[in-house]
Amino acid sequence: MKKFKIILFLMLTIISCQLKNKNESEGKSKKIASEFIKGNKMDKDEFWKIIDYSIANSKNDKLEQEKTIVEKLSAYNPEQIIEFEIILRQLIIQADDFKIMGAQKIIEGYVSDDSYLYFRCWLIGKGEEIYKETIRNPDVLSDSISREDEFDFEELLYVSTKAYKIKTGKIEEDATFPRDVAYLKGLDYDFGAPPTKGVDWKEEDLPVTYPKLWRFFN
């Protein structure tokens, strides 16, 4: 009987901690969702603040997340919108690593030039914490995603253009637009991108390299 009471106590303690963590997480999300104070400069902190706000207000809906990012980004001046695009491209290029490519292979079952680019956009769209943790070790993704997720956020590539059009009133893209300016600064994530970082992998090695992720999707 004493042993049963100890087990029951431990179970109740675990459940209580889980509920507390859930409530704290929900409270934090509600705070983020209801508050957004625009900063005076566009840097990585400001970039991630916009992304985090869009996550909290999109309910895992990519189109809603895109809409939220464009809405917030269009409140900045044209130079800051361009800086957002520059930071976005830096993050896409930073995530160009064979480790990330291996994770995508496990999750989606294939890798192509376009899908790999959109996968990295999706990773950025998950927020700073998940992005940075995944760069260090993609196996942690198994703790923070669902099999039902859409691992594609192509729309993120165009939020700066849309925000810039709203801010400037320009309809046709020209050399002043964020994508052109960033490209001329050497930030190309496409055909002129830097070589993929890290060491290439063999498919048969993936279950051992990323055991948690492999078990989660297989």
| Residue range 121-136, pLDDT digits in tens | 999 999 999 999 999 9
Q: CA 137, CA 132: separation in Å to the nearest integer?
A: 9
The whole-chain average pLDDT of the chain stands at: 88
Give the pLDDT band of residue 4 (cuts 50, 70, 90).
very low
Task: Note the Cα 50 to chain centre separation in Å.
Answer: 11
Q: What is the pLDDT of residue 19?
A: 39
Q: How high is the pLDDT of residue 23?
A: 41
pLDDT reported for residue 16: 44
pLDDT of residue 140: 95
pLDDT at 5 over 50: no
Which position has the token pair 């930030």? Answer: 187
Position 33 pLDDT exceeds 60: no
pLDDT tens digits along 159-178: 999 999 999 999 999 999 99
Q: What is the mean pLDDT of residues 182-198?
A: 96
pLDDT value of residue 34: 55
**Distance of alpha carbon 44 from alpha carbon 130, whole angstroms:** 15
Q: How far is the C-alpha of 190 from the C-alpha of 92, rounded, in Å?
A: 10
Place of tokens 């930071």: 87
Residue 148 has pLDDT above 70, yes or no: yes
pLDDT band of 213, cuts 50, 70, 90: very high
For 51-102, what is each residue's pLDDT tens digit?
Answer: 999 999 998 899 999 999 999 999 999 999 999 999 999 999 999 999 999 9
From CA 51, how far away is CA 45, in angstroms rounded? Answer: 10
Task: Provide the percentage of residues in the chain whose pLDDT is more than 90.
Answer: 78
Specify the higher pLDDT residue, 35 or 95.
95
Mean pLDDT throughout 14-31?
A: 40
**118 has pLDDT over 50:** yes
Task: Report the 3 state secondary structure along the chain.
Answer: CHHHHHHHHHHHHHHHHHHHHHHHHHHHHHHHHHCCCCCCCCCHHHHHHHHHHHHHCCCCCHHHHHHHHHHHHCCCCHHHHHHHHHHHHHHHHHCCEHHHHHHHHHHHCCCCHHHHHHHHHHHHHCCHHHHHHHHHCHHHHHHCCCCCCCCCCHHHHHHHHHHHHHHHCCCCCCCCCHHHHHHHCCCCCCCCCCCCECCCCCHHHHHHHCHHHHHHHC
